[in-house]
Chain A
């Protein structure tokens, strides 16, 4: 199977082309088969190739397809590179991706906003899976960058999928522009890497990384971190992710939770060789992760839109991954990436079921009492939530625990651990709030469940993975990124790590089911101001609007006539002036022309004679 590795990205690409060239003329049922089937087949091939790869015991497998271009010494090749890291990533992308595609065949069926968009939706989704696979399988940073921009494009197209509402177009543009800031930093990082090492081939570059001096390694590490921060929605480029929820819910599940936003984590893990040389850059990774983690988990506590709660929760979980990479828990970070893909995809898909059953109602305060009416989505949400909160024995517990315990031992002291545990407590609080408000209490909107097996089937599979995904020993990455460090669970730090989220659940239950009255605290002026501050996402959008958007609009308004164009306008005016002068000699009189010719001839003769 290993020699068929090229089929893994090729199948979704073929699916994209099939849907793209038929321009939506295919019947919806065939579209569903092509859209979900291509990714499903890719998942099977990836599974087969992965099993053969693990059995072979090799450290890596490279399949060279062709040379992209040859310019002097610069000859990037299209090579698929399979190692444990890219194996885990492509497994998540195709496996979880297939389940989400399957769910989407039901979710997008006869969609009330875009009934014509069924084929377009799956074309974009397949293109996204292709680009994401090129990102993780590419053996060359240029191929990685191709995939990186490809997923950005698909993200843009899918956020703006409901394009009739200008708000969604705005959200799509915002995501595109904000991530572009990070991409620019990343491109500069790649240029520097190429200048210093003369190759963008990942393995060659990492092998030669020892030649970099410390300052250059730090600069490259920080620039690549900039790219990762943009793509993975970390502070300070996180503002696009909550707005990206304007896209259909399966898009939020696949792109803005399970796969694309974790590309930054993948990039940093892939460039481990650089960060090993640049401890400052690695510390920056950890700090970015911690700050994002705290900011977004407090913000999630005050949101009312179920998808925005999950979006902020995604940001905070990716913050955990960044923190893990930063404190040196490389394998644990990727492990958390995988388990997070399971339970966050589950949460998003289940919330999608709820939203669909409530005719696109997303406000949790208008839901209430749904647990009896929507048992499958409720059970799925519950399982996803306990995995998110990291209740012991769920998948999220194993990965988060491994991260926090490595953070405990970090050289700078227990600060990262303390922040992570506080955020874990907040995670428990906001998750409990979401569950209690949306599913318990009185029914406020009557649900209308019309989901079939293609919708609840993926939920069941993902629920099983969310629970059991952490039981297997996650050792494939040991050789590449180092083994996961397990500390015996009688350590005091380990106990706090386990118990605090449980306390959060209990507290959350009592507060949000109304059994404990905290109104005096919430309604005080300080409490209200704090709530509004958190709800706005710590005012990042407010600040960015004033610092970047407004001055830019002002400059655009002042510069309506375009200063740069002035040079061209002057050139045109001068040319036109000469034209008028020249036109004066064009009298149309034959004798005038003859006289000019005679005079010219005499002048020429005089010149010739005088030489």
Chain B
């Protein structure tokens, strides 16, 4: 017998994950950690979708999660390419070093 988890609890966890991820994006300077924080944020959004889908018994939530997975994979592919370029050009992984496009 499945254990019923109230949807509010799941959403609270998702919000917590999202905030953690956002905090990570804002405070970490290492670009690898930045990407990992982004993954956390996306997964928190996915979790919220799953919870919502389970609550209303609709398959859309799961479909959205799969979309997010695909998006994350694509994002990582591009982002790792950028990481490589940044580490080659600036010889560091500090994202603030790449601030040449200022006004």
A residues with a Cβ closer than 8 A to B are 582-591, 594-595, 598
- Do residues A589 and B96 form an inter-chain contact, with CB atoms below 8 A? yes
* Chain B, 54-103, CB within 8 A of any chain A CB: 95-96, 98-103
Question: How far, in angstroms, from A269 to B43 measured CA to CA in the complex?
Answer: 94
Complex contact A586–B102 (CB within 8 A): yes
**CB neighbours of B34 from chain A (8 A):** 590-591
The 4 A-B residue pairs with the shortest CB-CB distance in the complex, in nearest-first order: A586-B103, A583-B103, A588-B102, A588-B99
**Judging by beta carbons under 8 Å apart, are A588 and B95 in contact?**
no
In the complex, chain B residues whose CB is within 8 Å of the CB of A588: 98-103
On whether the beta carbons of B103 and A598 are closer than 8 Å, the reply is no
Number of interface residues of B (CB under 8 A): 13
Residue of A nearest to B27 (CB): A591
A594-B101 in contact (CB<8A): no
**Chain A residues in 8 Å Cβ range of B50:** none
**Which chain A residue lies CB-closest to B29?**
A591
Residues of A within 8 A of B102 (CB): 586-589
B22 part of interface (Cβ distance < 8 Å):
yes
Q: Are B26 and A584 in contact (CB-based, < 8 A)? A: no
Q: Report whether over half of chain A's contact residues are helix, strand or loop; otherwise say mixed.
A: helix
In chain B, what residue has the closest Cβ to A585? B103
Nearest A-chain residue to B37, judged by Cβ: A594
Indicate if the CB atoms of B26 and A595 lie closer than 8 Å.
yes
Chain B residues within 8 Å of A, Cβ to Cβ: 22, 25-26, 29, 34, 95-96, 98-103
**Chain B residues within 8 Å of A590, by CB:** 34, 95-96, 98-99
A591 touching B95, Cβ below 8 Å? yes
On chain A, the residues within 8 Å of B29 by CB distance are: 591
Cα distance A591–B33 in the bound complex, in angstroms: 12
Closest to B96 in A: A589
- B22, B95, B98, B99: which contacts A598 (Cβ < 8 A)? B22
The residue in chain B whose Cβ has the minimal distance to the Cβ of A591 is B26
> Separation in Å of the A2 CB from the closest CB of chain B?
76
* Inter-chain contact A587/B26, CB cutoff 8 Å: no
Given A590-B95, A591-B95, A598–B26 Cβ distance below 8 Å?
yes
Q: How far is the CA of A591 from the CA of B101 in the complex (A)?
A: 13
In the complex, what distance in Å separates the CA atom of A27 from the CA atom of B98? 72
Residues of B within 8 A of A591 (CB): 25-26, 29, 34, 95-96
Q: How far is the CA of A442 from the CA of B98 in the complex (A)?
A: 97
Residues on B with C-beta less than 8 A from A594 are 25-26
Q: Bound complex: CA of A583 vs CA of B101, how far in Å?
A: 11
Q: How far is the CB of B23 from chain A (nearest CB, A)?
A: 10
Least Cβ–Cβ distance between B52 and chain A, in angstroms:
18
Q: Which of A583, A584, A585, A588 has the most CB of B within 10 A?
A: A588
- Complex: how many Å from CA A393 to CA B37? 114
Q: List 15 A-B contacts (CB under 8 A).
A: A584-B103, A585-B103, A586-B101, A586-B103, A587-B103, A588-B98, A588-B100, A588-B101, A588-B103, A589-B96, A589-B99, A590-B99, A591-B25, A591-B26, A595-B26
- Of listed A582, A584, A594, residue having the most chain B CB within 10 A: A594
Min C-beta distance of B97 to chain A, whole Å: 10
Docked Cα-Cα span, A585 to B101, in Å, equals: 11
Which residues of A sit under 8 angstroms from B103, Cβ to Cβ? 582-588
Question: Within 8 Å CB of B100, what residues of A?
Answer: 588
CB distance from A23 to the nearest CB of B (A): 53
Kindly provide the distance from the CB of B11 to the nearest chain A CB, expressed in whole angstroms: 15
Q: How far is the CB of A452 from chain B (nearest CB, A)?
A: 79
Which residue of chain A is the closest to B31 with respect to CB atoms? A590
* Complex CA–CA separation, A590 to B96 (angstroms): 7
Q: Which of A583, A591, A595 has the most chain B CB within a 10 Å cutoff?
A: A591
Apart from A587-B99, A594-B25: 20 A-B pairs, beta carbons within 8 A: A585-B103, A586-B102, A586-B103, A587-B102, A588-B98, A588-B102, A588-B103, A589-B95, A589-B99, A589-B102, A590-B34, A590-B95, A590-B96, A590-B98, A591-B26, A591-B34, A591-B95, A595-B26, A598-B22, A598-B26
Measured in the bound complex, the distance between the Cα atoms of B102 and A582 in whole Å is 11
B19: nearest chain-A partner, CB-CB:
A598
- Alpha-carbon distance between A57 and B34 when the two chains are bound, in angstroms: 101
Most buried by B among A583, A586, A589: A589
Q: How far is the CA of A591 from the CA of B100 in the complex (A)?
A: 14
**How many angstroms from the CA of A331 to the CA of B72 in the assembled complex?**
98
Residues of chain A contacted by B26 (CB below 8 angstroms): 591, 594-595, 598
B96, B99, B100, B103: residue with the most chain A Cβ atoms closer than 10 Å: B103
Smallest CB-CB separation from B22: which chain A residue?
A598
* Residue in chain B with minimal CB distance to A594: B25
CB distance from A597 to the nearest CB of B (A): 10
Closest to A598 in B: B22
Q: Which residue of chain B is the closest to A579 with respect to CB atoms?
A: B103
| Whole-angstrom CA separation of A584 from B22 in the bound complex | 24
Q: How far is the CB of B87 from chain A (nearest CB, A)?
A: 15
CB distance from B69 to the nearest CB of A (A): 22
CB distance from B93 to the nearest CB of A (A): 13
Cβ of A583: which chain B residues have Cβ within 8 Å of it? 103
B28: nearest residue on chain A (CB-CB)?
A591
Question: Would you give the shortest CB distance from A582 to chain B, in whole angstroms?
Answer: 7
Closest to B38 in A: A594
**Distance, CA A588 to CA B95, complexed state (A):** 10
Q: A588 vs B26: C-alpha distance in the bound complex, in angstroms? A: 14
Tell me how far the C-beta of A15 lies from the nearest C-beta in chain B, rounded to whole angstroms: 63
Q: Which residue of B lies closest to A580 (CB)?
A: B103
Complex formed: what's the CA distance from A598 to B22 in Å?
Answer: 8
CB distance from A577 to the nearest CB of B (A): 14
Complex CA–CA separation, A345 to B95 (angstroms): 90
Give, as a whole number of angstroms, the nearest-CB distance from B24 to chain A. Answer: 10
Inter-chain contacts of A584 with B (CB < 8 A): 103
Q: How far is B98's CA from A586's CA once the two chains are assembled, in angstroms?
A: 13
A589 to B96: give the CA distance in the assembly, Å: 6
B34 CB to closest chain A CB (Å) equals 8
A587–B34 alpha-carbon span in the complex (Å)? 18
Contacts of A587 in B (CB 8 A): 99, 102-103
A578 to chain B, nearest CB (A): 12
CB-CB < 8 A to B25: which residues of A? 591, 594
Which residue of chain A has its CB nearest to the CB of B23? A598
Q: Whole-angstrom distance from the CB of B25 to the nearest CB of chain A?
A: 5
